[in-house]
Amino acid sequence: MSDHIDRIKKIDKIVNDEASPTFCLAKWHHTTIYMHRGQTHSCYHPKPHDIPLEELKYTPSVLHNTPQKIDERVQMLNGDKPEGCQYCWNVESMGDDYVSDRKIRNSSIYTDERFDEILDNPPDFQINPEYIEIAFSNECNFKCGYCHPMHSSMFYNEIKKHGKYETVKNHDCDIEWFTNYDDEETNPYVAAWWRWWPEVSKTLNILRITGGEPILHKTTWRLFEELKKDPKPHLEININTNLGYASRRVQKLADTVKELQDNNCIRQFKMFTSIDTWGKRAEYLRTGLDLDIWEKNQDIYVRGVQSHITHMVTFNILSVASFKGYLEKVLEWRAKYDDIIPNGLGSDDTVRKIRFDTPYLKEPIQYDMHILPKEEFLPYFDECLQFIKDNIVEDDTKMFSELEYERFRRVRDYFANTQYDSRKIEQGRIDFYNWFTEYDKRRGVNFLETYPEYTDFWNLCKETAENQIDITEVGN
């Protein structure tokens, strides 16, 4: 058993015994804030909810401590299961051997001081989180299909030109119902952030900047300048980036990071970049991605900063058939950069230098792996799982770890053991065919040429769509 898994089990017992079996430290100490929308949530599984602007005028910490989160904290302290956290409840229902994100986050966040502060204060206590993920804008040079126009300016402009997807029940990408704050400098949520910053930055452990594409955002670069003037040597900065822009921007980022680190302005800097599979399938999935540019930019960053990088895999229906190719690339990169990235940058010397995680996508349903025929596609999961298992060497950072195996095993088993009702599967397949038919027309691509392994599934979805009576009569 690895040290990582041992700690997860140890902390799980503590929170079960002293708080509740549904307690999640992320609800208090993690937050993601979408400034362009005025919304927040504490992890990616619950849907974002609105931050009350009126309360924010007087209390900037409401950017995190919203009335909804406080209510969910009460539920967790009482041993109840907030509805938005169903992802973890689903994983945990498969048995004690399955490691949910709730247990992983409890393990990573837990300290005696943080835990005691929560238990010693009322649920409506305005806590300063140890981890903040923040999007200052939706400006983005990509338009990934499973994303939404509210989070990507490029996607928004496409919908503005062509209109919403009229033929799908789910994820029609309508833009008429929301308004984004396009100007960072006049956004009241960004203004509240700078009022909160002097206080929250005192105890903040990790600040993760996301988007949109944060390298394109003015406030990202203002933050770097603020850190140069007023260093926070206790603070770790992370950034989510698609690495899909001109290499000079990556070089500027690398130079800035080196300056911040060399002058002790921050404790550490970590890059997170998105990639969902490999080859032409990855480029089809994430419109704007050029793998040659992406791989070149990864190289510039790693060599310039000499730091590890984490790949965020949104595991979805189009990752399944080609994911082994991505896993092979992971081992290639780990070998390539082993001597460039120094040891000791993680919690111990066995932490991988090129990292990846594989949370699965739940919506939109046309990207959900659960609408695939199980017998036909489960072998792809088994092949990947076996490949990871065959290449596990716990003490060798160039190889896979037991925790990586466990994370992908839960994805595999969740696919194998989860069965949607027939009407939901039918609707998902109708939307799959109609969505990607229109997607190909709008973006000048070809699904079947890119994913020949899905030909039988495509034909099944086509037949289902063509035989439907009325799309409004088919339930979710």
| pLDDT surpassing 60 at residue 469 | no
Sign of the four-CA dihedral 218, 223, 270, 192 = negative
pLDDT-based confidence at 161, cuts 50/70/90? very high
**Given this model, what pLDDT does residue 96 score?**
83
Region 388-398: mean pLDDT is 96
Which of 437, 278, 400, 270 lies closest to 346, judged by CA?
Answer: 270
**Do 314 and 357 contact (CB within 8 A), yes or no?**
no
From the DSSP assignment, how many helices (H) and strands (E) are in the chain?
A: 19, 9
**Given this model, what pLDDT does residue 476 score?**
37
Whole-number Å distance between alpha carbons of 400 and 203? 34
**Do 302 and 253 contact (CB within 8 A), yes or no?**
no
**Given this model, what pLDDT does residue 347 score?**
63
Region 217-235: mean pLDDT is 97
Which of 315, 305, 278, 308 lies closest to 294, judged by CA?
Answer: 278
Which of 4, 74, 60 lies closest to 31, judged by CA?
Answer: 60
Which of 88, 104, 79 lies closest to 22, judged by CA?
Answer: 79
Strand partners, 175: none
Whole-number Å distance between alpha carbons of 327 and 356? 9
| pLDDT surpassing 70 at residue 439 | yes
Which of 366, 370, 404 lies closest to 384, judged by CA?
Answer: 404
pLDDT-based confidence at 2, cuts 50/70/90? confident
Q: Average per-residue pLDDT in the chain?
A: 94
Q: How far is CA 363 from CA 46, 49, 94, 314, 359, in A?
A: 12, 17, 21, 11, 12
| pLDDT surpassing 80 at residue 1 | no
* Cβ atoms within 10 Å, residue 108: 18
For the chain, the first-to-last Cα distance in angstroms comes to: 41
| pLDDT surpassing 90 at residue 118 | yes
Letter for the amino acid at 367?
Answer: Y
| pLDDT surpassing 90 at residue 468 | no
Region 141-154: mean pLDDT is 96
Strand partners, 241: 273
| pLDDT surpassing 60 at residue 470 | no
Region 175-196: mean pLDDT is 94
| pLDDT surpassing 80 at residue 474 | no
Q: What is the pTM of this model?
A: 0.85
Region 272-289: mean pLDDT is 97
Give the E-state strand segments of 19-115 in sequence order: 30-34, 39-41, 49-50
**Residues whose CB is less than 8 angstroms from the CB of residue 113 and which lie 6 or more positions away in sequence, other chains included:** none
Starting at the edge strand found earlier in the chain, the sheet holding 232-241 runs 49-50, 39-41, 30-34, 131-135, 206-210, 232-241, 266-274, 309-312, 354-357
CB burial readout 325-336, b (16+ within 10 A) else e = ebbebbbebbee
Whole-number Å distance between alpha carbons of 49 and 33? 10
**Given this model, what pLDDT does residue 388 score?**
98
| pLDDT surpassing 50 at residue 471 | no
DSSP tag of 356: E
| pLDDT surpassing 60 at residue 285 | yes
Region 33-43: mean pLDDT is 95
Residues 326-357 have pLDDT tens digits of 999 999 999 999 999 988 776 667 789 999 99
Region 181-210: mean pLDDT is 95
